[in-house]
């Protein structure tokens, strides 16, 4: 494993630069957020101004429609009977009820004036009533009432006598007979009135009561009376009779369709409270719970509204305004208050009691926020671009500073390493040369001096070879840094490159204490630079020698596997931790500073190996663990065997060679 001088750079200047870039970026983001908030408020104010105008238009439309409603009711009142005008108003308009007067201010509907009942004074009527009420003889009374009905020429008297006969028969337990007579009265007297009352309607109500008492009443039995009460024509019941029959029919048949019952009751309740008519055509409280009243334009009537109903009607009118999906008009009554938050603007409604108003509300705050964001999008984009540019420039400047620091450190490391690596062999060589120049001493014999001189010369030769390899590594590194290294690619057998590397180191391995095992299988055809590949293998062998303790065991293997050539160099050294194994191919990286300082080398060997292998479109990997040595594997793309054999026919094999 190659040592490394380390190239961890100080991050302090870079951090300062990033901090200087971050501070204004944070300031820009804060200002952008404040600008966005201000833009949102400004957008809200613009919306309030814009929809204030919409609220004014909605108010005008509501006021116009309300005035038109009252005018339509008033005009219909003038052209038709009071009862028809009442029914039309409560059935076809939002009015809940209406009080109608004539041009003199007299109440015409609902006219609840009581009529004195007719008292019979003839002898035959007194005799029949005595039998019924005094003598308690209902059958005799029924017969007497029947005689009256059969002998009189007055249709009203006949109908009255039949009603009394039915009453007496019911007292006598003759319910079916009583019902039959009531059917006859209803059929024969549909248009006959007595003292403001419709005789047929009274007869029909009594018939329904008898059916209900007998448990035979069904909804369809009430259809005739229901139709009669819902008919507000000129010959219908009086207001008092109608209200009485409506209430009674509703109690007998709860699901009967009686659309005017509530209006009739409200009118009676209003008149019973003797509420003062509104002084002008403004909708004001009527003094009844949830009821407001307003005078008709002609002054000949008072319209009554349930507050909830009129608000719903006004709400539907206001919603006709063309508005965005997130703005909704709301009708507010005097008792309702606007809470802060989603309300944009409000306007009072003229012609209504103070407090009636239309407010514009944000019904969908998310949609409004989306609109506000869309409005503020240009500011956000500008802020984002400024921050992005600032961050990018700061990052680029930081990278540039870091790269400059790295190059400076690299140069310093290179100078220090070259000085260290050259100093030792040059000093040793100088001592040996000085010794040789001094010559043998007077006491030395010639043979001993000759042996010593040869040893010195061999030591000088080894130091020179080591210096040559060191300088070659420096030159290769320099070319790598400048990107000017050139390779001489040709078809070859990788065995040749391995043999050149083995020849350079074979003298170190004596075969006893230090052994080098070689296992090369078959031909290894590749396209490559033989000198460069031999340098790569030699660097791996140097690495194995330097970082293994005696006895050294180094194994070199090469084999073809499919379309790949694998070259392995394995040692029995100390190994390396997995954390450091990922960085051993970096220039000047030092996993173990103490170990690297005890051996020659500058930490460039493995980085040069990686550079050469990758230039040959191969890969180099390390399989290592602390305490069990290292195994470097070079993989190169294989070529056709015949082509390599033709170009290098003299290549021979050294399988299983041990040096």
Residue 1 has pLDDT above 50, yes or no: no
Mean pLDDT of 83-108: 91
Residue in 448, 496, 497 with CA at minimum distance from that of residue 609:
497
Across 32-36, 220-224, 509-513, which has the greatest mean pLDDT? 220-224
Mean pLDDT of 433-461: 74
pLDDT value for 244 = 92
CA–CA separation, 530 and 492 (whole Å): 8
The dihedral through the CA atoms of 447, 451, 454, 456 has a sign that is negative
- The lowest-confidence range among 7-21, 298-312, 374-388, 523-537 is 7-21
The dihedral through the CA atoms of 485, 486, 488, 494 has a sign that is positive
Hey, what are 402's tokens? 């870091």
CA angle 263, 264, 265 (to 5 degrees): 90
Residue 263 has pLDDT above 60, yes or no: yes
Exposure string over 27-65, b if 16+ CB within 10 A, otherwise e: ebeeebeeebeebbeebeeebeeebeebbebbbebbbeb
10 Å CB burial of residue 116 (0-12, 13-18, 19+) is: exposed
Residue 367 DSSP label: H
The phi and psi torsions of 484 (rounded to 5 degrees) equal -120, 15
pLDDT value for 121 = 66
- Tell me the CATH number for domain 487-647: 3.30.565.10
CA–CA separation, 401 and 102 (whole Å): 101
CA–CA separation, 51 and 329 (whole Å): 9
How many residues in the chain? 659
pLDDT digits over 49-59, tens only? Answer: 666 677 778 88
User: Pairing mode, if any, of strands 515-520 and 553-561?
Assistant: parallel
The 3-state DSSP class for residue 253 equals: coil
- The lowest-confidence range among 103-107, 193-197, 441-445, 635-639 is 441-445
pLDDT value for 372 = 62
Higher-confidence position of 398 and 226 = 226
SS3 sequence of 64-123:
HHHHHHHHHHHHHHHHCCHHHHHHHHHHHCCCCEEEEECCCCCEEECCCCCCCCCCCCCH
Mean pLDDT of 585-601: 60
26-29, long-range: CB within 8 Å, 24+ apart, which pairs? Answer: 28/383, 28/386, 28/387, 28/390, 29/383, 29/387
SS3 sequence of 157-182:
HHHHHHHHHHHHHHHCCCHHHHHHHH
pLDDT value for 634 = 94
Please name the residue that has the structure tokens 């206001």: 318
CA–CA separation, 528 and 552 (whole Å): 30
pLDDT value for 537 = 92
Residue 549 DSSP label: P
pLDDT value for 42 = 65
Dihedral in degrees, nearest 10, Cα atoms 117, 122, 128, 134: 70
Cis peptide before 110 (omega within 30 of 0): yes
Residue 189 has pLDDT above 70, yes or no: yes
Q: How far is CA 293 from CA 26, 69, 348, in A?
A: 63, 14, 18
Please name the residue that has the structure tokens 């608000």: 311
Dihedral in degrees, nearest 10, Cα atoms 340, 341, 347, 348: -40
DSSP of 423-484: HHHHHHHHHHHHHHHH---TT--HHHHHHHHHHHHHHHHHHHHHHHHHHHHHHHHHHHHHT-
Confidence of residue 654 (pLDDT cuts 50, 70, 90): very low
Across 241-255, 480-494, 600-614, which has the greatest mean pLDDT? 241-255
Residue in 319, 355, 353 with CA at minimum distance from that of residue 334:
355
Tell the CATH topology of 123-195+197-237: 1.25.40
pLDDT digits over 355-385, tens only? Answer: 888 887 776 666 556 666 666 667 667 767 7
Which residues of the chain are in CATH 1.25.40.10 domains? 123-195+197-237
Residue 617 near residue 15 (C-beta atoms within 8 A): no
pLDDT value for 206 = 92
Helix segments in 506-529, DSSP class H: none
CA–CA separation, 98 and 270 (whole Å): 10
Residue 148 near residue 124 (C-beta atoms within 8 A): yes
Residue 410 near residue 30 (C-beta atoms within 8 A): no
Residue 172 has pLDDT above 60, yes or no: yes
Q: Would you give the distance in Å from CA 121 to the centre of its chain?
A: 89
Residue 17 has pLDDT above 70, yes or no: no
Residue 165 near residue 180 (C-beta atoms within 8 A): no
Mean pLDDT of 297-307: 90
CA–CA separation, 48 and 209 (whole Å): 62
Which residues of the chain are in CATH 3.30.565.10 domains? 487-647
């Amino acid at each position: 494993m190659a040592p490394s001088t380390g190239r961890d750079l100080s991050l302090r200047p870079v951090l300062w630069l990033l901090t200087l870039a971050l501070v204004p970026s944070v300031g820009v983001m804060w200002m952008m957020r404040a600008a966005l908030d201000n833009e949102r408020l400004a957008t809200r104010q613009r919306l309030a101004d814009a929809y204030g105008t919409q609220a004014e238009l909605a108010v005008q439309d509501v006021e116009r429609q309300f005035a038109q409603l009252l005018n339509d009711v008033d005009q219909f009142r003038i052209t038709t009977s009071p009862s028809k005008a009442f029914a039309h108003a409560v059935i076809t308009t939002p009015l809940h009820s209406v009080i109608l007067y004539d041009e003199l201010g007299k109440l015409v509907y609902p006219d609840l004036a009581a009529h004195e009942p007719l008292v019979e004074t003839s002898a035959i009527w007194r005799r029949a009533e005595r039998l019924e009420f005094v003598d308690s003889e209902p059958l005799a009374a029924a017969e007497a009432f029947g005689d009256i009905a059969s002998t009189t020429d007055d249709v009203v008297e006949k109908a009255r006598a039949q009603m009394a006969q039915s009453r007496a028969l019911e007292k006598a337990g003759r319910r079916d007979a009583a019902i039959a007579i009531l059917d006859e009265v209803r059929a024969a007297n549909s248009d006959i009135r007595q003292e403001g009352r419709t005789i047929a309607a009274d007869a029909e109500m009594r018939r329904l009561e008898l059916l209900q008492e007998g448990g035979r009443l069904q909804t369809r039995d009430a259809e005739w009376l229901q139709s009669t009460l819902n008919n507000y024509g000129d010959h219908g019941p009086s207001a008092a009779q109608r209200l009485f029959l409506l209430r009674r029919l509703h109690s007998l048949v709860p699901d009967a369709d009686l659309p005017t019952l509530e209006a009739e009751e409200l009118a009676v309740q209003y008149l019973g409270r003797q509420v003062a008519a509104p002084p002008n055509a403004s909708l004001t409280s009527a003094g009844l719970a949830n009821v407001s009243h307003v005078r008709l334009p002609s002054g000949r009537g008072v319209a009554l509204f349930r507050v909830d109903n009129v608000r719903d009607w006004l709400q539907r009118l206001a919603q006709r305004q063309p508005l965005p999906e997130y703005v909704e008009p709301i009708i507010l009554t005097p008792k309702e208050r606007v809470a802060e938050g989603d309300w944009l603007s409000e306007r009072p409604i003229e012609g209504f009691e103070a407090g009636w108003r239309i407010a514009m509300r944000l019904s969908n705050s998310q949609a409004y926020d989306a609109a506000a964001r869309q409005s503020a999008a240009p500011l956000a984009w500008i802020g984002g671009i400024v921050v992005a540019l600032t961050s990018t420039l700061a990052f680029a400047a930081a990278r540039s500073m870091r790269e400059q620091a790295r190059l400076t450190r690299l140069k310093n490391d290179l100078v220090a390493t070259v000085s260290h690596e050259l100093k030792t062999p040059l000093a040793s060589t100088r001592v040996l040369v000085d010794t040789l120049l001094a010559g043998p001493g007077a006491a030395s014999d010639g043979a001993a001096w000759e042996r010593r001189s040869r040893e010195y010369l061999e030591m000088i030769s080894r130091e020179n070879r080591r210096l040559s390899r060191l300088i070659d590594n420096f030159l290769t590194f320099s070319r790598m840094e400048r990107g000017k290294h050139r390779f001489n690619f040709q078809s070859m057998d990788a065995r040749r490159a391995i043999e050149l590397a083995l020849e350079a180191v074979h003298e170190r391995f004596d075969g006893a204490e230090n052994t080098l095992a070689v296992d090369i299988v078959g031909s290894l055809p590749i396209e490559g630079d033989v000198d460069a590949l031999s340098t790569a293998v030699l660097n791996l062998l140097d690495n194995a020698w330097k970082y293994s303790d005696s006895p050294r065991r180094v194994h070199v293997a090469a084999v073809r596997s499919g379309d790949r050539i694998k070259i392995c160099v394995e040692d029995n050294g100390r190994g390396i931790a997995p954390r450091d194994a990922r960085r051993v191919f970096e220039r000047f990286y030092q996993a173990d500073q103490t170990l690297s300082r005890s051996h020659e080398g500058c930490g460039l060997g493995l980085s040069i190996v990686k550079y050469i292998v990758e230039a040959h479109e191969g890969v180099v990997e390390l399989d290592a663990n602390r305490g069990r040595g290292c195994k470097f594997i070079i993989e190169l793309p294989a070529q056709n065997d015949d082509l390599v054999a033709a170009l290098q026919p003299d290549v021979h094999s050294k399988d299983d060679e041990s040096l």
